Amino acid sequence: MFSRIAGTGSYLPERILTNHELAARVDTSDEWIVARTGIRQRHIAAADETTSDMALIAIQRALESAGVTADEIDLLIVATTTPDNIFPSTACIVQNKLGVHGFPAFDMQAVCAGFVYALTTADQFIKSGAAKCAVVVGAEKVSNIINWDDRNTCVLFGDGAGAVVLKADEETGILATHLHADGRYNGILNVPGRPVANAVDGEAFVHMDGSAVFKFAVKALSAVAEETLAKAGLAKEDIDWLVPHQANIRIIESTAKHLHLDMSKVIVTVAEHGNTSAASIPLALDAGVKSGRIQRGQTILMEGIGGGFAWGSVLARF
């Protein structure tokens, strides 16, 4: 039994924040941001717009594209690092907003690797027969945990949501999944705060050693791509589309180069979306599908990496 991606959907907040606007606030420039990251703009959620609001719209669009109604869902996983509340899970809030109840719903916290972790988990539910129609959504309001006066981080991130509907299928779907984590690297990318007595003990902003993260990401993403292809018995030429986490165009280009993939076979949204953490892969996937580039029957390799460190890949026949 396979988990077939039956539909995709996404949502981006209306407000676009350009590099030029950021350059008016912190000591940076459009030239620096474009040259070092490839990012030109990012979307920022409204003050009263929550992660669950964005997840809901992305899911509704994915359900529509799959021709599935909400009452067919029997599993919901929300990959997020920016939940609406400490609890309940954002998944339970989204389930309620969808107006359907009873089936399991939970959050997956693996930061920018959240979507590949959640997709892998849903795939296991479907393969084991525990679910037949799963919804996986990556949704983030990263803007809530950004220090807008810190040029090292504020230029990199954005908000948004992307969703897939997975259906049990005997013919085709997810071919292989690989997940990894190495907690020794938790110090190079984190939000070092915790709620204590109605206040934050520490800091609730993203902290990052950019160049250490960059080096780790390039190495780990190339290695997991190799591992995925080797275990699936596929050659590099068998990949029709690479749908990578969108953190930095230089990381994406180096992974593509390692796979001998021309950049015309890579879905790139980093210029328009920035790094939307767990939402970045499903946002890119939906962009690839809706633009007609990703076609049924093609082989796609999704891969993500983020704080923890946690990383992984999902190889699928679309």
Q: Is residue 32 part of the contact set for ligand UT7 (CB under 6 A)?
A: yes
Q: Is residue 115 part of the contact set for ligand UT7 (CB under 6 A)?
A: no
**Catalytic annotation on 112?**
yes
Segment contacting ligand UT7 by CB under 6 A, of 26-34, 127-135, 190-198, 262-270: 26-34
Segment contacting ligand UT7 by CB under 6 A, of 30-38, 50-58, 81-89, 219-227: 30-38
Q: Report, in Å, the least distance between residue 33 CB and ligand UT7.
A: 6
Q: Site mask, ligand UT7, residues 186-205, x = CB under 6 A?
A: ---x----------------
Complex with ligand UT7: residue 64 or 203, whichever CB lies closer: 203
Q: Is the dihedral of CA 242, 243, 249, 254 positive or negative?
A: negative
Q: Is residue 210 part of the contact set for ligand UT7 (CB under 6 A)?
A: yes
Catalytic residue among 112, 133, 178, 248: 112
**Catalytic annotation on 248?**
no
Q: Is residue 36 part of the contact set for ligand UT7 (CB under 6 A)?
A: yes
Catalytic residue among 43, 178, 207, 245: 245
Please state the three-class secondary structure of the chain as a single string.
Answer: CEEEEEEEEEECCCEEEEHHHHHCCCCCCHHHHHHHHCCCEEEECCCCCCHHHHHHHHHHHHHHHHCCCHHHCCEEEEECCCCCCCCCCHHHHHHHHHCCCCCCEEEECCHHHHHHHHHHHHHHHHHCCCCCEEEEEEEECHHHHCCCCCHHHHCCECCEEEEEEEEEECCCCEEEEEEEECHHHHHHEECCEEEECCEEEECCCCEECHHHHHHHHHHHHHHHHHHHHHHHCCCHHHCCEEEECCCCHHHHHHHHHHCCCCHHHECCCHHHHCECHHHHHHHHHHHHHHCCCCCCCCEEEEEEEECCCEEEEEEEEC
Complex with ligand UT7: residue 209 or 240, whichever CB lies closer: 209
Q: Report, in Å, the least distance between residue 81 CB and ligand UT7.
A: 10
Q: Site mask, ligand UT7, residues 38-77, x = CB under 6 A?
A: ----------------------------------------
- Kindly identify the residues of this chain, within the stretch 221-260, that bind ligand UT7 according to CB under 6 A: 247-248
**How many chain residues interact with ligand UT7 (CB under 6 A)?**
19
For ligand UT7, the binding residues (CB under 6 A) are 28, 32-33, 36-37, 112, 151-152, 155, 189, 210-211, 213-214, 217, 247-248, 275, 306
Catalytic residues: 112, 245, 275
